[in-house]
Structure 1
Amino acid sequence: MAHDVVVEYSPQTGGFADMHERLTRAVVAKRLATLMGFAYGGEYDCSAQYLGRLYFVPSNTLISLEQAAQLGIAGEHDLFGGLVPYPFVATKIITHPPIEPNVFAPEGWSDTFPRQVHGAGLEGYSVFTSEQTYSAGERLLENGPIRFKPVHATAGRGQRVIRSLTELADALATIDPAELATSGLVLEENLTAVTTYSVGQVRVADLTATYYGSQRLTTDNAGDEVYGGSDLVVARGDFDVLVRLPLPENIRIAVEQARAYDAATSIFPGMFASRRNYDVAQGTNARGQWRSGVLEQSWRMGGATGAEIAALEAFQADPGLEVVHASTFEIYGESQAPPPHATVYFRGTDDRVGLLTKYTVVEVHANTR
């Protein structure tokens, strides 16, 4: 008898992901297998003979249409994450336009996407050469400090606030010109008093859940401020269901911006995703204006995934349940044991980041049955 199997897949990490990330992904894959009624098959083995359907949990957004086809990944029901036609599409570089039309950009670049999401993002530019960087920086600095954002950095790491062209030159000196040409760099207006919201959607089997929430920061074992978890309000259904909830106005703006950003992704040929997450920042710019905009997207397993899966499990267990509140926690150093009802993804000492606890809790949202 054929067995459908959930497998993990690490096309770009080469097996060098942090221990806590590998173990977290294993727990995610096991819970997805249970949710879908599949077996759990561990890491994908290209030499194995799989008799049933495969469902992949990749470590990153897949960036090769050809490789996906070879694996049998043809649509969103074949993976937890997403597939894009070019590597740059998986990064924050797609959010902003170049400094001028028809300047140098990587293969596959289109000005259509940043034009369509203009009202959903902050003021900024995507640059691919030092000349473009200085031109964009000079223009943006006229209105105040800007944020210098390497496109492959996550959780805010590697970013700098730039206040002058001299500081921009110093920051640019840390970027390899070849990497700049292939991956690009984002220069964006800098906000203060910032709150970052997560807006997203997951689709697994016959379940769809759409959510908004906020991120928490914490201090890691090196004393750096890093991601500490997410608190999500998750609705059964699509964006139409989410926007019908009684949302505060700033949350409604964040959701609509993420929704517009998500809809615009249809311009990328061959792209699909079952997990879509958008970071929306709200704060004050240098001119004292309140601003809101999508910073970047994630079409792969992320920090909020534990909460996303907990919501799907709750909806599957109770067909009458419409909204849940789900939270993920990442706690560094010594900490109390997670609550008895929590799903623990990692608790131990990671080789690189040290002592860490990661868990998820879920509860029924008030007055939503």
Structure 2
Amino acid sequence: MPSAHHRKSAVVLLDTRERTPEHEHAVHLKLAARLAQLLGCHAVLPEAPIRGDSHYYYLPTETLVDTERYAALGISGEQDFFGGLVSQPYMATKAISHPLPPDARFPHGWTNEFAPQASTALLRGYTVFSKVDARRAAQLLLLEGPLRIKPVRACAGRGQQVLTQADELEPLLANIDERELGVWGLVLEENLSNVQTFSVGQVRVAGLTCSYYGTQQLTRDHQGAEVYGGSELIVVRGDYLALLQRPMEDCLRMAIDQAMVYEHAAEQHFPGFIASRRNYDVARGITAQGQVRSGVLEQSWRMGGASSAELLALQAFADDPALLQVCASTHEVYGAPDLPPDATLFYQGNDSELGQLSKYARIRQHRHSE
């Protein structure tokens, strides 16, 4: 339980997006209720009040940008919200995962210090904030093989394209707004084949910390497209070092090490950075030269697809002090499946955009201290 100094009276859903799909809003309210249970308060406010209060605990829909603005709401530390807070827009996206090309433009607040410190955790690539620099970065990367163009604000791989020659870049650049590019950036990255993506993360709520690694699954939506279908996580009580103490394959150990390097560089070089929810996608694949390469693709300092499993795991640790590890999973199923008996339902309904959809989480394989 949180100390009296940090005791919260309500969990507030802080929706900073222009539009939130109905199925996501329903899940967010369920997550807020779970957080309220962990924090020992029972009130959930479905929208932010006009004035902040240090006794509110916030659940933002996105990584918050602008430390001064949210300090006025009462968000001054990780005990005040579930997610992350950064001082500049680009810090909230995968734009931080690469350095600039030589002599490139950059936005206010950009730091050249992050990428060198995180270099052992990064794939080859560049972040650019202008079309001129995008062309230069593409020429440099194409010398060694195909590259992947990655819009920095898209999720689940949407909008990404693989290029094998420079002239394929122009139609893509024509569709990009120069002003938005100047604020948020664009990533150009070496393209890997036979990719396996791991999730590495940590959450800290109500004085509890748990860390995890896992994998994501794909499923098919009602149109037959492959989309996110859930995550399978091994969650331990404690920090990343506690996670590394359990037996695992070398590729997983490397993914956790790389997530730690990436996170430490962010803590060192992004002034005002705070996060109580940290998640990293780490890709392992084969380069055009046939070499195995591993690196952090991006961070998620906000609630995400795995957060229902994260909160169920935290509650399990809160309920049982002897519990050391669980397997926690999230599931997104298109249709109306028979749910397993141990499922915790977060959404089931006919979404106006996606059709019949079920979202649930499970906890199993508990391991206790001797």
For the aligned pair, the TM-score class normalised by the smaller chain equals over 0.9
> Is 1:34 aligned to residue 30 of structure 2?
no
Q: 1:323 to 1:257 in 2, by over 3 A?
A: same
Give the distance between the partners of 2:347 and 2:11, measured in 1 at CA.
20
Structure 1 residue 124: Cα displacement: 0.3
Structure 1 residue 365: Cα displacement: 4.3
SS of the aligned residue for 1:245 comes to coil
1:5 alignment partner in structure 2: 10
> Is 1:208 aligned to residue 209 of structure 2?
yes
> Is 1:183 aligned to residue 188 of structure 2?
no
1:301 alignment partner in structure 2: 303
Amino acid corresponding to residue 187 of structure 1 in structure 2: L
Note if contact 2:324-2:367 (Cα within 8 Å) is conserved in structure 1. no
Give the distance between the partners of 1:49 and 1:271, measured in 2 at CA.
20
Deviation string for 1:267-290 (max 9, x for gaps)?
A: 111110000000001111111111
2:87 alignment partner in structure 1: 85
Structure 1 residue 3: Cα displacement: 6.8
SS of the aligned residue for 1:226 comes to strand
Give the distance between the partners of 1:39 and 1:3, measured in 2 at CA.
10
Give the distance between the partners of 1:39 and 1:279, measured in 2 at CA.
33
- Mean alpha-carbon deviation: is it higher for 234-243 or for 39-48? 39-48
> Is 1:272 aligned to residue 277 of structure 2?
no
2:150 alignment partner in structure 1: 149
Amino acid corresponding to residue 14 of structure 2 in structure 1: Y
Deviation string for 1:241-287 (max 9, x for gaps)?
A: 01111111000000000011111111111110000000001111111
Note if contact 2:52-2:72 (Cα within 8 Å) is conserved in structure 1. no
Note if contact 2:64-2:84 (Cα within 8 Å) is conserved in structure 1. yes
Give the distance between the partners of 1:231 and 1:221, measured in 2 at CA.
23
Q: Which residue among 14, 22, 26 is the counterpart of 1:23?
A: 26
Amino acid corresponding to residue 201 of structure 2 in structure 1: G
Give the distance between the partners of 1:232 and 1:81, measured in 2 at CA.
19
Structure 1 residue 143: Cα displacement: 1.2
State how 1:1-369 maps to structure 2 within 5 Å: 4-11=9-16, 13-14=17-18, 16-47=19-50, 53-101=55-103, 103-266=104-267, 267-332=269-334, 334-365=335-366
How many pairs are equivalent? 363
Deviation string for 1:34-58 (max 9, x for gaps)?
A: 11101222223424797x7100001
Q: 1:323 to 1:49 in 2, by over 3 A?
A: closer
TM-score (normalised: structure 2): 0.95
TM-score (normalised: structure 1): 0.95
Give the distance between the partners of 2:287 and 2:69, measured in 1 at CA.
42
Give the distance between the partners of 1:130 and 1:45, measured in 2 at CA.
38
Q: 1:91 to 1:45 in 2, by over 3 A?
A: closer
Give the distance between the partners of 1:207 and 1:256, measured in 2 at CA.
22
- Consecutive unaligned residues of structure 1, counting only runs of 5 or more, are none
Give the distance between the partners of 1:32 and 1:276, measured in 2 at CA.
16
Give the distance between the partners of 1:298 and 1:49, measured in 2 at CA.
25
Give the distance between the partners of 1:44 and 1:178, measured in 2 at CA.
30
Q: 1:173 to 1:342 in 2, by over 3 A?
A: same
Tell me how large the CA RMSD over aligned residues is.
1.6
Give the distance between the partners of 2:10 and 2:30, measured in 1 at CA.
14
Note if contact 1:308-1:326 (Cα within 8 Å) is conserved in structure 2. yes
Amino acid corresponding to residue 263 of structure 1 in structure 2: H
SS of the aligned residue for 1:315 comes to helix
Give the distance between the partners of 1:113 and 1:47, measured in 2 at CA.
36
Q: 1:342 to 1:156 in 2, by over 3 A?
A: same
- Mean alpha-carbon deviation: is it higher for 140-149 or for 172-181? 172-181
Amino acid corresponding to residue 301 of structure 1 in structure 2: M
Identity %: 47
Amino acid corresponding to residue 46 of structure 2 in structure 1: E
Structure 1 residue 227: Cα displacement: 1.0
Amino acid corresponding to residue 165 of structure 1 in structure 2: A
Structure 1 residue 364: Cα displacement: 2.6
Give the distance between the partners of 2:14 and 2:254, measured in 1 at CA.
35
Note if contact 1:3-1:39 (Cα within 8 Å) is conserved in structure 2. no
Structure 1 residue 122: Cα displacement: 0.5
Note if contact 1:258-1:278 (Cα within 8 Å) is conserved in structure 2. yes
- Consecutive unaligned residues of structure 2, counting only runs of 5 or more, are 1-6
Amino acid corresponding to residue 327 of structure 2 in structure 1: H
Deviation string for 1:292-341 (max 9, x for gaps)?
A: 10000000000010111111011111111101100001112x24222122
SS of the aligned residue for 1:326 comes to strand
SS of the aligned residue for 1:71 comes to coil
Give the distance between the partners of 2:52 and 2:259, measured in 1 at CA.
40
Note if contact 2:52-2:74 (Cα within 8 Å) is conserved in structure 1. no
Deviation string for 1:48-91 (max 9, x for gaps)?
A: 797x7100001111102122111111100000001100111000
